[in-house]
A and B are shown apart, each in its own frame.
Chain A
Amino acid sequence: MIAMNFRGPRQIRVDRNKPEPEIKHPYDAIVRVTRSLICGSDLHLYHGRVPDTRVGMTFGHEFTGVVEAVGSGVQKLKVGDHVLVPFNVACGTCPHCKQELYGNCHESNPEATAVGGFFGYAHTGGGYDGGQAEYVRVPYADVSPTIIPKGMDLENAVLLTDVVPTGYQAAEQGGIQKGDTVVVFGAGPIGLMAARFAWFFGAGRVIVIDHVDYRLEFARKFSFAEAYNFREMKDPVLFLKKATDYFGADVCIDAVGCDGTGDALQSITGKALMLQAGDATALHWAINSVKKGGIVSIIGVYGPPWNLAPIGSLMNKGITVRANQASVKRLLPKLIDHIMSGRINPKEIITHRMPLEEVSDAYRMFSGKMDHIVKPLLIPPRANAA
């Protein structure tokens, strides 16, 4: 089959003869991929920032597909079902899954206890080959995969596997109250979605901070947010304090993670010297820009083992930090309703639709923010096979 193949940092090729996945467990399904997305967090893998990313792996944790085969223990799914596959691999029976923390499953990732199992996300995410391929093995097929509702656009369905729930949870974690001022750091797909959903919780004002002008323009249109370029500021924290009556935002959302930029010390120690797990500028700004007693919601991905962050301010200001990988299955019913009711049309953020065979171009374009790219979609050649 055709599949993306990681060859090292910033090196990707398409394999045309990767063996097709097989049923390895009674609860497995094999899915023929119909749509697949590249996530901003895939860029952390692409840039070589996530430990235990092995050569030969196929990335991709956002995909839809048609069930081609099921294991002997699968009861809910059947061959021919068209499903959206949440990025969390979740068993459904461990204490964390039973409490709806599907992103923290205890039975899907042998390599790390600090992380749940994710498709196509290094061995730190469990070592599963992902959805930037024609076929994928989907474990625990009865738990998370969800049949795409009738009438739902396939592009909206694939965005429900990660981007939409992750952006929603970023806002939800913020504990936003009616009238709150919410600052979102990062105008990538998750930041755009988080800013848009902040309104659903009753935000009075939503401000997006980034350094890429076309994405800021996108935030103004898609997320109805005020949007500012931090390259035009000497000190973004001072800017935000002034913009919030010298009080600070009620809620700050870090939708950037370890590929941040804007602070020389963070860039040198995080990216050039790798003395910390990437550049934590956004988290630093979030903690400093939020009001005393405010909430910082972290949805951007940081790798192990550590990052420089102002813990002293966290304590002295009485800030609450809320963070987690999105629990996609928990959020799906509500988000399907929002989409089917027309309150949000997430596919507006897909700017590029490319064949799977051009996956290396897609990664380079997404990484370099070329051609005004916001979200690239990959279409495998056998997507429409009968």
Chain B
Amino acid sequence: MRHKTLVMQNVLEDTIVEFQDRAIADRNLDDRIKDIPGWGMDADPDNDPTYPMKHWNGADHERLDYEKAPQQPLDIEVLHSIERPSVTRVFGTSSPPSGLSGAVRRFAFKYSEATATHWMGLILADRINVIEGKIDDLAHGILPNPWIERGWRAEWKHNRPAFVRQAATTALLITAGIMLLKRKNKRK
């Protein structure tokens, strides 16, 4: 299989017709509109890298002195980047920080977005939050349902060989682990 793959890898590069770019470019571009709807209609010779896309109107120099919407009431805890003076005039209210993950998030938000401490702290908080979510589910009588939640149903329907292979590998690893543990216990 590996040999076959390597052979295939060599084929595409080694057989490509060199100098095809020029040959293709030599085609009459004006004919393209017949083949491809919309060809060339948005072409803009001014749109080269030195032409700014931004419609500069000087607003940047207002800095933070611009017309702002009313402030959304702060009726939940909203963490904000220390690179801005306060929360934005509107914000999302999904999943406010809570528990241990919330404490880690509060710590992470003491650092700027330029630091690894900020982002790695948030990723750590995310992983803790997953465990908190499981505990919360159990506390509310919700049992894990990997068949649905992990999309195993879709995997079984559309990718059965891979699903069976993965399940068999997992079962094998778990069995091997249990046997190893049993053997260690016997020796003791």
Contacts and interface: CB of A to CB of B under 8 A. Distances in A.
Contact of A91 (B79, B89, B132): B89
A24 B94 contact: no
Given A99-B56, A245-B21, A364 B150 contact: yes
B171 interface: no
Contact of A247 (B21, B40, B66): B21
Nearest to B84: A113
Interface residues of B, number: 101
Given A93-B68, A93-B69, A245-B18, A199 B38 contact: yes
Nearest to A249: B21
Contacts of B43: 176-178, 200-202
Contacts of A10: 150-151
B155 A99 contact: no
A7 B149 contact: yes
B93 interface: yes
A63 B6 CA distance: 44
B59 A11 contact: no
Interface string B27-58: 10100100111111111110111010111110
Nearest to A248: B21
B94 A54 contact: yes
A234 interface: yes
A363 B178 CA distance: 33
A106 B67 CA distance: 12
Interface string B151-186: 111110111000000000000000000000000000
B94 A55 contact: no
Contacts of B40: 178, 199-202
Contacts of A234: 9-10, 13
A208 to B, nearest CB: 14
A228 B11 CA distance: 12
Contacts of A343: 37-38, 41
Given A12-B149, A99-B57, A181 B25 contact: yes
Interface stretch (A80-88, A120-128, A150-158, A264-272): A120-128
B60 A99 contact: yes
A371 B158 CA distance: 6
Q: Provide the main secondary structure of the chain A interface.
A: loop
Contact of A99 (B55, B63, B153): B55
Contacts of B137: 7
Contacts of B53: 172-173, 322, 324
Interface in A96-134: 96, 98-101, 106-114, 117, 123-124, 126-129
Interface of A: 7-13, 24-28, 48, 51-58, 73, 89, 91, 93-96, 98-101, 106-114, 117, 123-124, 126-129, 137, 139-140, 172-173, 175-179, 181, 197, 199-202, 204-205, 224, 228-229, 231-235, 238-239, 242-247, 274, 295, 303-305, 320, 322, 324, 334, 338, 342-344, 360-365, 367-368, 370-371
Query: What 4 pairs across the A-B complex have the smallest Cβ distances?
Result: A364-B151, A127-B92, A128-B92, A8-B130
Interface of B: 5, 8-13, 16, 18-22, 24-25, 27, 29, 32, 35-45, 47-49, 51, 53-57, 59-64, 66-70, 72-73, 78-81, 83-84, 86-95, 97, 101, 105, 109, 113-116, 118-120, 122-123, 125-126, 129-130, 132-134, 137, 145-146, 148-155, 157-159
